[in-house]
């Protein structure tokens, strides 16, 4: 199978949709020889911040000399970015060859009376197969949207479970309350694993602690009180955490400090489990970690920031960063949302910081909320909002509105941010502006 054929295959099975449950992925991986059973994992779950934590932990492990696989979703630019070894995406050749193996296993399943696996199940199985073939020492594995019934949860050799912030999202699958969602996500906890979680509401912490104790796991919380000496800029953030001083990270946004701290706790647990990770590897790995579309500065004049805030918790974190970094600045939003998200709450949490708001329809996404519908909803609480027809038009209009000293913040669905970031970089090359 060629690379293009592999992508076509994923497109062809998209109608299978989302089907929480482990029976299908178990059968698929059994057909593949259960590659996941030959790997060791750090399993990362939560509502927001998973990708950042995966990046922090994997970069440190790489700096320590371990061949490290990462699996994340969704991705912004290229399908291959979902599956990486030592930060390098799966090659087109490997993707084609290994997807053919997975497709043959899927076809055999269907022939045996099973339902065809979903796209996420196929991607997860493909990742396991690739990491086994690559000889990874360890895999930092991001869950999809859930926990207990998430396709990634068929793994057995979990060394560390990491939980980022847990909030309302994907309620149609995970539950209608934060407590229900926390119980679902806590389902990734395996006996003997170390369980680390970001400081958050007591109910969530209680659920996680209870499940950790039932599985005889070490449990710890990355607490805000242990973070001191914070200095935040738009290029770098520095802070102290517990006994480590002057830790630096390149990812901006105040929330990234907590993501880094829970990652540090996870690294310390890996050290206890026998991994040889020096302080030099820890500090350099944290500094090099990056994730596109997370309060990412993509241009300096005017300042353009891309952020994947697409749910209330993400919007709250974005609002906190806007308040911290951009007092008394002219701000123009570009917003694009999916119709199955709680966009009303996202609007409520963010609208007051914008002077102008431009809405777009995320392209090539059947779940997209139209620019007009989003603008109508924003218009109920904000006096200056306009809908445009494309990402390119949104950037052009926003640039005119904010001037060189204003700020453009593009946020919402990740499904359009990749296009926006690409358009800005192309324009920047033409103008020969260093960003």
DSSP one-letter string for 111-179:
HTTPPPPPHHHHHHHHHHHHHHHHT-SEEEEE-SS-STT-GGGG---EEEEEE-B--S--HHHH-SSHH
Q: Give 411's strand partners.
A: 307, 335
pLDDT tens readout for residues 22-80: 999 999 999 999 999 999 999 999 988 899 999 999 999 999 999 999 999 888 888 99
The contacts of residue 389 (CB under 8 Å, 6+ apart) are 360, 371
Q: Could you tell me the CA-to-CA distances from 156 to 34, 74, 379, 390 in Å, in that order? A: 11, 24, 50, 45
* Residue in the block written with tokens 């939980």: 163
Q: Which CATH architecture has domain 296-431?
A: Alpha-Beta Complex (3.90)
Tally Cβ neighbours within 10 Å of residue 328: 4
Secondary structure (DSSP) of 40-83: -EEEEE-SBSHHHHHHHHHHHHHHTT--EEEE-SS-SS-GGGGE
Confidence of residue 363 (pLDDT cuts 50, 70, 90): confident
Segment 274-279 mean pLDDT: 98
pLDDT at position 433 is 44
Contact 167, 48 (CB under 8 A): yes
Two structure tokens written together for 213: 């104790």
Q: Rounded mean pLDDT of the chain? A: 92
How many CB atoms within 10 Å of residue 154? 20
> Distances in Å between the alpha carbon of 297 and those of 46, 234, 356?
24, 8, 19
Task: With a cut of 50, say whether residue 434 has pLDDT above it.
Answer: no
CB burial class (10 A; 0-12, 13-18, 19+) of residue 378? buried
With beta carbons less than 8 A apart as the criterion, state whether 286 and 245 touch: no
pLDDT value at position 428?
Answer: 64
Tell me if the bond preceding 302 is cis, omega within 30° of 0: yes
Q: Kindly provide the b/e burial profile for residues 398-430, where b requires at least 16 CB atoms within 10 angstroms of the residue's own CB.
A: bbebbeeebbbbbbbbbbbbbbbbebbeeebee
Written as one string, the DSSP assignment of 165-215 is B--S--HHHH-SSHHHHHHHHGGG--TT-EEEEES--HHHHHHHHHHHHHT
Q: Are 193 and 44 in contact (CB under 8 A)?
A: no
Q: What would the pLDDT profile of 89-147 be if each residue is shown by its tens digit?
A: 999 999 999 999 999 999 999 999 999 999 999 999 999 999 999 999 999 999 987 78
Q: Which CATH code is given to the segment(s) 3-288?
A: 3.40.1190.10
Contact by Cβ (8 Å): 294, 307: yes
Residues 353 and 342: their CA atoms lie apart, in Å, by: 19
Tokens describing residue 251: 């990812």
Contact 87, 62 (CB under 8 A): yes
pLDDT beyond 80 at 285? yes
Better-predicted residue by pLDDT, 74 or 351? 351
Confidence band of 173 (pLDDT split at 50, 70, 90): low
Residue 281 in tokens: 């590897």
Length of the chain equals 435
Domain ranges of the chain: 3-288, 296-431
Pairing between strand 407-412 and 331-336?
parallel
* Alpha carbon distance 326, 106 (integer Å): 51
Residue 135, phi then psi, degrees to nearest 5:
70, 40
Give 316 or 15, the one with higher predicted confidence. Answer: 316
Q: Are 270 and 159 in contact (CB under 8 A)?
A: yes
* DSSP secondary structure code for residue 368 in this structure: B
Is the pLDDT reported for residue 170 higher than 60? no
Residue 16: band (very low, low, confident or very high) from pLDDT cuts 50, 70, 90? confident
- Residue 418's nearest CA partner among 50, 54, 51, 75 is 75
Helix H or strand E segment including 97: helix 92-111
d(CA 274, CA 10): 38
């Amino acid at each position: 199978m060629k690379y293009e054929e592999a992508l076509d295959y994923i497109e062809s099975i998209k109608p299978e949709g989302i089907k929480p449950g482990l029976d299908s992925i178990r059968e698929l991986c059994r057909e593949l020889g259960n590659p996941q059973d030959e790997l060791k994992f750090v399993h990362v779950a939560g509502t927001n911040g998973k990708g950042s934590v995966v990046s922090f932990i994997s970069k440190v492990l790489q700096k320590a000399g371990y061949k490290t696989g990462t699996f994340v979703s969704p991705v912004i630019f290229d399908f291959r970015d979902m599956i990486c070894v030592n930060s390098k995406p799966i090659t087109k050749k490997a993707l084609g060859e290994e997807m053919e193996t997975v497709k043959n296993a899927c076809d055999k399943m269907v022939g045996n009376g099973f339902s065809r696996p979903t796209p996420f199940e196929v991607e997860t199985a493909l990742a396991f197969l690739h990491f086994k073939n690559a000889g990874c020492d360890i895999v930092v594995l991001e869950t999809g949207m859930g926990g207990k019934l998430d396709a990634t949860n068929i793994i057995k050799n979990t060394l560390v479970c990491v939980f980022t912030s847990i909030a309302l999202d994907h309620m149609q699958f995970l539950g209608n309350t934060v407590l229900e969602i926390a119980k679902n996500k806590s389902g990734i906890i395996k006996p003997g694993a170390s369980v680390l979680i970001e400081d958050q509401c007591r109910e969530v912490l209680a659920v996680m602690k209870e499940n950790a104790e039932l599985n005889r796991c070490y449990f710890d919380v990355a607490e805000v009180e242990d973070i001191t000496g914070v200095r935040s800029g738009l290029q770098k953030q520095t802070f102290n955490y517990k006994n480590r001083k002057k830790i630096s990270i390149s990812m901006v946004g105040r929330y990234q400090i907590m993501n880094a701290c829970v990652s540090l706790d996870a690294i310390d647990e890996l050290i206890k489990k026998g991994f040889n990770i020096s302080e030099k590897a820890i500090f350099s790995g944290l500094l090099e970690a990056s994730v596109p579309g997370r309060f990412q500065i993509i241009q300096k004049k005017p300042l353009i920031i891309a952020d994947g805030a697409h749910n209330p918790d993400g919007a709250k974190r974005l609002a906190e960063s806007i308040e911290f970094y951009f007092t008394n600045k002219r701000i123009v939003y570009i917003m694009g949302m999916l119709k199955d998200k709680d966009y009303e709450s996202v609007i409520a949490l963010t609208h007051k910081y914008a002077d102008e708001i431009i809405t777009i329809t995320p392209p090539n996404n059947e779940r997209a909320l139209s620019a007009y519908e989003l603008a109508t909803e924003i218009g109920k609480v904000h006096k200056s909002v306009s809908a445009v027809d494309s990402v390119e038009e949104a950037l052009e209009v926003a640039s005119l509105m904010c001037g060189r000293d204003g700020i453009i913040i593009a946020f919402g669905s990740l499904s359009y941010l990749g296009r926006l970031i690409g358009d800005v970089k192309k324009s920047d090359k033409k103008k020969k502006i260093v960003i």
